[in-house]
Amino acid sequence: MNSLGWPVVLTDGVVRLRPYKRSDAYDWTEVRIANESWLAPWEPTPPGSWRECNTPSVFRQVYREQRRAARKGEAMPFAVCLLEQGRERYVGHLNLGNIVGRAFCSAYAGYWLDARAAGHGVMPTALALAVDHAFRVAGLHRIEVNIRPENMPSRRVVEKLGFREEAYHQRYLFINGGWRDHIGYALTSEEVEDEGGLLARWHRRAAMR
């Protein structure tokens, strides 16, 4: 285990975050192909068709890159799974990347979810689990998330958790054929420390809905 407390498995209810396995290739491909219309508008433009960029062989390449970054302490890539009758169902991805220590102690969070699992609090729970681990175990101080203004499902995730909207980044990433603006959200450890962590905050907010 490295200084970030990685690898690690994090679970709350039916939501589980775990490191990727090579055997996830076909589940990853199935979910990605099934969600082209749901995901493609928000992701960096690939150098080929969606199907060509989401094959098992592409997954294995991504898997190697993710493992390399995790071993160097630069990322924590999680497979997002649901526990159903004692078995895992792969439903999405969450990564804490661009991890920097010392005076910055920060990371960027990125995520996506199978549309078939959306609307049930899966991604807010997953992000809260990852952020609590980053603050409590990895020793990070700040998590940032950058989202296109039009991507309301993704924005709702961070807004439900109480991330602050703090920046507007013009022409931030090349996505779907053009340079797209993004809204910057952030959260620091002090903002949730007195609430028992981000997951505890999320449970209280969800109970009031």
Q: How far apart are CA 78 and CA 19, in angstroms?
A: 5
Q: Looking at residue 208, what is its pLDDT?
A: 86
Question: DSSP state, 121?
Answer: S
The predicted model scores a pTM of 0.96
Q: Looking at residue 80, what is its pLDDT?
A: 98
Name the strands in the sheet holding 164-175, side by side, starting at the edge strand that comes first in the sequence. Answer: 10-12, 15-18, 76-84, 87-100, 106-113, 142-147, 178-188, 164-175
CATH placement of domain 10-208: 3.40.630.30
Q: Looking at residue 155, what is its pLDDT?
A: 97
One digit per residue, pLDDT tens: the chain, 209 residues? 787 899 999 999 999 999 999 999 999 999 999 999 999 999 887 778 999 999 999 999 999 999 999 999 999 999 999 999 889 999 999 999 999 988 889 999 999 999 999 999 999 999 999 999 999 999 999 999 999 999 999 999 999 999 999 999 999 988 888 899 999 999 999 999 999 999 999 999 999 87
Q: Looking at residue 209, what is its pLDDT?
A: 76
Task: Count each helix (H run) and each strand (E run) in the chain, helices first.
Answer: 7, 8
Identity of residue 111: Y
Q: Looking at residue 86, what is its pLDDT?
A: 83
Burial (Cβ within 10 Å: 0-12, 13-18, ≥19) of residue 24: buried
Nearest one of 78, 86, 91, 89 to 122, comparing CA atoms: 91
Beta bridge pairs of residue 143: 107, 187
Helix (H) or strand (E) run with residue 44 in it: none
Q: Are 199 and 125 in contact (CB under 8 A)?
A: yes
